Amino acid sequence: MKDKPIGIFDSGVGGTSIFKEVHRLLPKEHIIYLADSKNAPYGEKNTSEILRLSIKNSELLLKMGCKIIIVACNTATTNTIGELREKYNLPFIGIEPAIKPAALNSKTKCVGILATKGTLSSKLFAETMDIFAQDIEIVEVVGNGLVEAIESGEKDAPETFKLLQKLLQPMLEKKIDQLVLGCSHYPYLIPQIEKILPSEVKIIDSGEAVARQTKTVLQSMDLLTETQQKPPVFFSNGNPIVLKNLLQRDNFEVSYMDF
């Protein structure tokens, strides 16, 4: 079991921001990544459809022999992680907006959350808000169009920058000092976001925390590999070139797969 792969799936290419942190922390592990770009974004879908897609992705990773599965999608995590853990007899690591550290570290008591509609409307998100953000003013913004821009390879386009300016304007007006990125696609927009927000605003994503949690769980189950495994492999049911460009590594295997 130790030498079996880590599985990661996302509603497209954004979860590669999570992959990079996991690969950096656990470089010996073999990782299989599924980019469900054909069905991106998940954020506009209903809960039953998100669950169906999450089960489809999980089943494929299980067939590939994965020892643990990372749900590198905020929308899929906040809507389906409980069901996935009940259904399958292996550990699932989820990703959700980092509300807790943002609330604890905010000096202005005003925090921005940029996320998908599916994440912001989920039960898990509401429960997390109730626990950690009772005394904090939260400025929620649905990032309509951002996932599509990244999936089409337009993350650095002028149109994407203009869209970000529009979306972040309510947060600027409220003078947030913490911005939570509630979608694994959004870290690829940080260079653009930093040009719009004041330098004192801290931008928070969950990649490093997910990597640490993955390592902790594998250690606790004695599932960390002890020998160098083969390099990560990536499968996309969309345009694999977009995925390859985000990885910025020529030696990773990136393939098209219809799933």
Catalytic residues: 73, 183
How far apart CA 242 and CA 236 sit, in angstroms, is 10
* Nearest Cα residue to 31 out of 3, 56, 11: 3
How far apart CA 75 and CA 42 sit, in angstroms, is 6
Query: String of b and e for 14-50 (b: at least 16 CB within 10 Å)?
Result: bbbbbbbbbbeebeebbbbbbbbbebbbbbebebeeb
How far apart CA 8 and CA 165 sit, in angstroms, is 31
